[in-house]
Amino acid sequence: MIKLITASERHQANVGDWLKSHYLFSFADHYDPSNMEFGPLRVFNDDYISPKAGFPAHPHTEIEIVTIVLSGELTHKDNIGNQATISPGQVQRMTAGTGMTHSESNETDEEVHLLQLWFVPNQRNLAPSYELMQVDFLSTKNKLTPLVTGQKVLEDVVFLNSNSTVYYGSVDQGEEINFRTFKIRKTLLYLLSGSLLVNNVEADIHDQVRLDDQELVTIRGTSSATFILVDVPALEVNY
């Protein structure tokens, strides 16, 4: 099955003047029982945070949080001693596990654009942990670059407690990328810029293509495009 979800179908959150956010799934005060998750992927938010603003300290449990900064800088602080400024080309993973409190803020004079993805972990009662890695994915061309994974076949990638992988993709007009998968897995592709044909389905900026029961995902640039591809198990065995 292949499903196209257009940019206009994303939920635009009404949070305040300091945050512009689009939710790809049910989140916070937005509830859609038909769109709760995609395998273990529970949250995918596309956020813009204004200068000198952000999320104050707040708690999480039993969730894997992946943060990808596309422009600007985001400052992370948590209660287990981590403090870092995340820049474009870096990827952060936070394992909330049995309980973790953190804050996220834009301490600069420029807007920050970030993506945040939450995954249900494949183990309960994990100790809280944190990882930040320089990946330099934004300069890649005509390839998929793994950013975070729980699949042990990939190295030098941020670790995730889920049998899932998040890729950054870039393809020039007329070029093609083939992503081989399995019918027991699912693929979500979210367009950041440009336009694509995904298994012959036309997708434009901020559209999503969700696929399952596929063995090959063919991604062709109808213009130069960038995107996030999330590869997840159709059914994650948890706990």
Give the residue numbers spanning the domain of 166: 139-233
Residue 157 domain-assigned (yes or no): yes
The pLDDT of residue 156 is: 80
234 or 72, which is more confident: 72
Burial tier of 15 (Cβ tally within 10 Å: 0-12, 13-18, 19+): middle
Q: For the residues of 88-117, what is the DSSP string, one character each? A: TTEEEEEE-TT-EEEEEEE-SSS-EEEEEE
Q: What is the pLDDT of residues 138-166, one digit of tens each?
A: 999 999 999 999 987 677 899 999 999 99
Mean pLDDT taken over the chain: 95
Structure tokens at 41: 């992927």
Is the same domain home to 129 and 158? no
Question: 14: domain CATH number?
Answer: 2.60.120.10
Closest Cα partner for 146 from 172, 169, 130, 178? 169
Radius of gyration of the chain (CA): 17
Is the same domain home to 44 and 55? yes
